[in-house]
Structures are given as structure tokens and as C-alpha cells.
Amino acid sequence: MSNFIADWLDDRTGLRTSLRSLEEEALPAGARWRYVFGSVLASIFMIQAFSGLMMMTAYSASSSTAWGSVYYIEKVMWMGWFIRGLHHFGAQTVMVLLLFHFLQVLFAAAYRAPREVNWWLGLALMAIVLAFSHTGYQLPWDQKGYWATKVVTNIMGGAPILGPYIKTAVVGGSEYGNQTVTRFYGLHVGVLPVLMFICLFAHVALCRRHGLKPPRRFDANAPKATYWPDQTFLNLMATTVVLGVMVALILYEGGAPLDAPADPSSSDYPARPEWFFRFLFQMLKHFPGKYEWVGSIAIPGAIMLTMALLPLLDKVLPSRVLHFFACSLIFGLAGGAGYLTLESFVEDARTPSFHEARVKADASRDRALFLAAHPAYGVPPEGASYLMRLDPLTRGRAVLEAKCLGCHQMGGQGAGEVSAPDLKDFGTRAWVRGLLEKPDADAYYGKTPECDGMVDWKRTTKLDAKQLDDVSDFVASFAKIPADMNVDEWLNSPGVAEHPGNELFQKDCGKCHAIDGYTEGGVRDSPNLFAWGSPQWTSRMIRKPHADDRYGYLAEKQRMPALGSDALTDNDLKMIVRYLANDYLSPEQTPTAVATSPPAKP
């Protein structure tokens, strides 16, 4: 029965006959390790196809969902980290094997007749593999993929004549976004696999037709060998070793890396390509500005054209001279590429600004992964870009640095000449106590002589240390006053009237600071401190520092610049306020001990 089925399948498909032909395929020079690269490459291609297909079941191709779906694959899906790691390190393995296979074929002069077409198919496959790599690491839509894509497409756009049109077609317009992701995804899983299958099928078919090219010199009296089982055994051994190395890398790294979600505003991101493209990245530095296309397009294009012409040149030039020239050229280029790669890594290692940017990018990555994993946060339904945009620690700090730290400092750190108080712990008891103890310190009003009221108060006050502590406790409690509570409601709240700092505040602070229905003020112009340190007080201070209940009494040139909605969005304002109040999730907090406010909504 089994023979009947086997005969029937062979009659219908020719499978057994094809397999039997491997046993009859003679290898004049015997089985050799140099022949394994092509078969190992084909095996890794199959692994790439399998792992890519597995990820397609969970990946969502859009600028808002790509990062979240890759995070799901990496951190949630069963064995997703291993499958993605297999795909990631498989792509790098392909590049290494491709180089060795190319060198082996070139060294064997397998571009000569009758293998010219197979040589050209090999070059086409090389171009397709490079395209796979470029389109693949953009798909997570993380910082690395976004900025790498921008670099590559800008290089495309710099090509003469057709460059801008090609860039527009690939990007999907003038802006990088949803169309960019979908077009790269379509190329990666649709167009390129079809081209790969066609070229690879033809490449293998021609290889079978012409056989493996034997070395120029070999022992003709050596025992005869066939593709099966002699060469097949070596191929399987090499594939097993390569696969073992890939698995070891996956286990060592814990999967594939995932950077923070793409942020077009982070222009200081240290964008670098994968290690196997580092030489090209470094070479572009030698062709700056309008000559960039020479290093990125002209030189690589000239090399590929030279390689494509080898079969034709072999017919008009002395074969040995041409072969020596071709091998010398490629080995020279390989040495140059290695030097440029090393130069790139050494240059980064010696550049402090790169290290600073890398540390910042790594911190952003760790923060994004922490927030995405936390049950109180997770990836927002609006998209992964909001993960960091709605995080006070990330967005609030960034906006504060950009908008406020030209005059203020944060924990002694600032970007300009200090002319305003330090905002570290603003709204807390510690900040108030420090102010009452030494208002002329640089961290408070030492750099703002126009706000010398507290300095004058310090010279005349009779409050002792214990009383200053009570006042500090009382003023710090203002930050907890709800936005919808008025003065009368606050005064009638439990713990206010009997607070030991209440009477002291009225007598000492209330002389200057007027709070309607509570203190009269009037001795000196001063801001209204009702709900001081609360989100509503701080927000109004940022939006309208010139208001009568803030610092409107100061001369216009002495006031803090107002940040209206045109200079600061409502979300960014909320992020600054929450960052100043330390109202954000920190790694030390457990899922039940989260920040007092829920994640902000855009």
C-alpha cells in the first residue's frame, strides 16, 4: 500500500524522481564546506519567512498601532520574543552569509559561462535582501526605525532628477506617518517576497542545471561524491551551527530590541544604522551636503554595475586578469568597509555628545517599556506616540527644559542665566521651609531683586524655628485644595481653623498676601496664595503671570513671560504641572501605588 501511494505521488508530482536526482548529481571535486553557504542561506530565508508570517498574525501596520503591536509580540504573545528574535538575528545572519556566499562564488569565478544568468540572479537577490533589511527595521515604528527611515529616504531624495519623486512615492507624501508604514509594510511582506521567490527559484533551478562549479585544481582520482548524502550532510551541519548561534544570541539578548515609540520632535536622537550598514553611514560623512548622493548612490551603483558586467567583460578581456581584478576589487572594498565600520564605532566611542544622546534615548526606551507594561497605564488607545506624550516625567520634563529652564533651574540644573527660583520640589513643604529660612538664597529670590518682599520680611519676623515649621506645613497644605473649592469652603474644612500654622500665617504672611475673606494684605504687593502649589494655581501662574492675583504688580519687563495656548498646549501645560508636583508613575511604585492622577487625556 505504501509503495502504491509513493508511486502515485511520484507519478503526479515527480517528487521521488527529483529527490533521486540528488543522489545522481555528481560532485567532481567532492563535497566541500565552501559549497554550504548557498544552502544555509536558503534555510535562513525559510526561517525568515516562517517567523515573519508568525509576526504578521499580531502586527498592525499603522503609525498609531505598529509600536503597540510589536510590543505585544515581544512582551505578551506566547514565544513572541523568541519568534521576533529569530527574525531579527536571522536578518543579520543573512547579511553575513550573503557576504561569504558572494565571496565564494566570485573566488570560484562562477560568473563565467554557462553561469552568467545565475550570477545576475544572485546580484538581484543581493539587492532584494538589502531592500528587505531597509524596509524591515522601520516597521516597529520606534525611534530607531523612524530616524533610520528618515535618513535612508533623505538619501533617496538627494539623488539627481528622480530622487525627490522616489522619496515622495516611498514615504507616501511629504510627511512621515501612516502612509510610510503601510508602504514599507507592503514592500516588505508583499512585493519583495514575490521577487525573492521568483529569483530564488530561478537561481536554484539554474544551479541544479549547471551544477556546483568545481575548483580549478582538484584530485580527479579522489572518491566520487554526490549531492546526497555527501554535500547534504555538510549543508545540514553548517545550518545547525548557524541556527545554534542564532538561538544563543536570542537567549543572550532576551529577544530583539525595541526602542521608544517614534517621536519626530526628538531631533537629538543618535540615529545609527545596523552594524552591517555602518560603513555606508560613515562613508557619507566624506561626501557632505549636495555630494551625499555620490557616496550613497553613485559609488554603490558603480560597484554593482561592475559586478554585473563581469560575465560580459570575461568574454573580451583575459580571464585571469579580470578575475584577479575582480577579486582584488572586492577584497579591497571589504577591507575598506571594515575600516569604515571600525572608524564609525571608534568615533562614537570618543564623542561625548553621542554618549549623552544615547543615555537619554536608552532612558526613554526603558521608560516607554515600563509604562507599557504597567497595568495602570499601558499603550494608550490613541496610539503609542501618546505613551510618552502623556507621561509627566518624560513630556513634562522635556517641555520644562525647553520653555522654563532658561530662567529657572531644576535641582541646580538649567540652560541659561538664573533669574528666577529653582523649581525643584515646588509646591512642597520642603520648598516653603527653605524659602522661609533663607529667601535671599539663589534657589529662591536671590536672583530676583524685584521680588524682595520676602527678604524684607525675614529681617523683621519674630517667628522661631518651630513656628516656621508650622507655617510651612500650613502653606504646603494649600496644594491639596480642590479646583472647585472657594475660600469659605476651605476655611470650614476639617483641620484648617485649628491648624497651628493658621494664625501665624494670618498675622505674619497675611500682611502682604491678600486672600479674599481670609487675609487683608496691603503692606506690600504680593501674589494671592490661595491654593498655592495646586495644579490650578500653577497653571494660572504659567498662563497668566501678569494677572492681578499673581505678579501683575511688577513692571512688564520684570514679569515672567506668559505661555499662552499658542506657545504651550493644554496637554503640555498639564504635563509640566504634574511633573513639578512629582505626580507621575515611578519604577519604585507598585501597581496599587500609582500617581494620584490617572493618565492624562489628550
Look at residue 587 in the predicted model and tell me its pLDDT: 79
Instruction: Name which residue leads in pLDDT, 274 or 23.
Output: 274
389 closest CA partner among 67, 30, 71: 67
171 within domain boundaries: yes
**Does pLDDT of 47 surpass 60?**
yes
- 3 state DSSP class of 511: coil
Look at residue 23 in the predicted model and tell me its pLDDT: 60
494 within domain boundaries: yes
Question: pTM, whole model, 2 decimals?
Answer: 0.86
Look at residue 260 in the predicted model and tell me its pLDDT: 95
Q: Are 282 and 344 in contact (CB under 8 A)?
A: yes
**Does pLDDT of 295 surpass 90?**
no
Interatomic CA distance for residues 284 and 291, integer angstroms = 9
> Total domain count for the chain?
2
Look at residue 600 in the predicted model and tell me its pLDDT: 46
Between 168-182, 287-301, 312-326, the lowest mean confidence (pLDDT) is in 287-301
Look at residue 158 in the predicted model and tell me its pLDDT: 72
What percent of the chain lies above the pLDDT cut of 90?
70
- 3 state DSSP class of 222: coil
Of the three residues 265, 281, 310, the one that is the final residue of a domain is: 265
Question: What digits encode the pLDDT tens for the residues 331-375?
Answer: 999 999 999 999 999 999 999 999 999 999 999 999 999 999 998
287 within domain boundaries: no
Of the three residues 222, 248, 265, the one that is the final residue of a domain is: 265
**Does pLDDT of 5 surpass 90?**
no
Q: Which positions ≥6 away from 515 have C-beta within 8 Å?
A: 487, 521, 528, 529, 530
Indicate the pLDDT class of residue 222, thresholds 50, 70 and 90: low
Between 144-158, 240-254, 318-332, the lowest mean confidence (pLDDT) is in 144-158
61 closest CA partner among 147, 179, 182: 182
**Does pLDDT of 597 surpass 60?**
no
- Tell me the pLDDT of the chain averaged across its residues: 90
Of the three residues 248, 265, 282, the one that is the final residue of a domain is: 265
Between 28-32, 165-169, 245-249, the lowest mean confidence (pLDDT) is in 28-32
Provide the domain limits for residue 38: 31-265
How does 558-580 read in b/e, with b if 16+ C-beta sit within 10 Å?
eebeebeeeebeebbbbbbbbbb
Q: Are 558 and 575 in contact (CB under 8 A)?
A: no
229 within domain boundaries: yes
Q: Which positions ≥6 away from 552 have C-beta within 8 Å?
A: 546, 559
Residue whose C-alpha cell reads 469652603 in the numeric block: 489
**Phi (first) and psi of residue 520, to 5 degrees:** -95, -35
520 within domain boundaries: yes
Look at residue 593 in the predicted model and tell me its pLDDT: 37
Question: What digits encode the pLDDT tens for the residues 525-552?
Answer: 999 999 999 999 999 999 999 999 999 9
CA dihedral (415, 366, 70, 62) in degrees, to 10, reads -20
333 within domain boundaries: no
Q: Tell me how long the chain is.
A: 602
329 within domain boundaries: no
Instruction: Look up the CATH number of the domain holding residue 150.
Output: 1.20.810.10
- 3 state DSSP class of 105: helix
Indicate the pLDDT class of residue 416, thresholds 50, 70 and 90: confident
11 within domain boundaries: no
Query: Residue type at 42?
Result: A
**What average pLDDT does this structure show over 180-192?**
95
75 closest CA partner among 340, 420, 371, 360: 371
- What nine digits make up the cell of 529? 496664595
Look at residue 104 in the predicted model and tell me its pLDDT: 93
- What nine digits make up the cell of 594? 500609582
Query: Residue type at 22?
Result: L
Look at residue 602 in the predicted model and tell me its pLDDT: 42
